[in-house]
Amino acid sequence: MDHADHIALIRDGIAKTGGVWADFGSGSGAFTLALADLLGPGAQVYSVDKNVTVLNQQARAIRSRFPAVEMHYFNADYTGRLGLPPLDGALMANTLHFQHHLAPVLRLIRTYLKPAGRLIVVEYNLDRGNTWVPYPFSYDTWQTIARSNGFTNTRLLARRPSRFMGEIYSALSMLDSSTFAPDHFVSIVV
């Protein structure tokens, strides 16, 4: 996949330019670059990853391609509490499949989002993993996980073939802050 594919996967999940977003588990920054491109000048993007080397690579790439986007880099594990401002949206691309228990992670992401905040998930479209992708979840499974953890209006954004695991998809889920108690989460193990 290239930059155009990354943009195509997340474009329809972003309602407007600008705003404050985070890319959790940003890795090499392929989707961080797409996010910066789509949000445009004046946006703030928080890139979170445990690997400082990839964060430094991202910083160079984004500085040269999208200098008007205000970037913040967190060398941290996103499963722990971070000092983030309220977010308009969160992106989790090819990272949740490393989490065996999604409820605690989604609970934490919910606390960062503004009311009606957006969560874009990019994942392999299957429910059986391997050594390198231990806990993927299909779009159908994501709909159940999202609903059980306080997200509504989940919709499929795009699909792309994947040479590794058949197909990759992106989905948008909205924070349901009006009808879901923050302490009532369902843990679904995939």
Per-residue pLDDT tens digits for 71-117: 999 999 999 999 999 999 999 999 999 999 999 999 999 999 999 89
The H or E element containing residue 145 is: helix 139-148
Query: How much is the pLDDT for 187?
Result: 41
What are the sequence ranges of the domains in the chain?
3-175
Beta bridge partners of 73: 47
Query: How much is the pLDDT for 92?
Result: 98
Low-confidence spans in the chain with pLDDT less than 50: 179-190
Alpha-carbon span 41 to 75, nearest angstrom: 24
Query: How much is the pLDDT for 186?
Result: 41
Q: 151-162 and 113-124 as β-strands: parallel, antiparallel, unpaired?
A: unpaired
Could you count the other beta carbons within 10 Å of the beta carbon of residue 68? Answer: 9
CATH class for domain 3-175?
alpha beta
Phi, psi torsion values for 32, nearest 5 degrees: -65, -45
Could you count the other beta carbons within 10 Å of the beta carbon of residue 166? Answer: 10
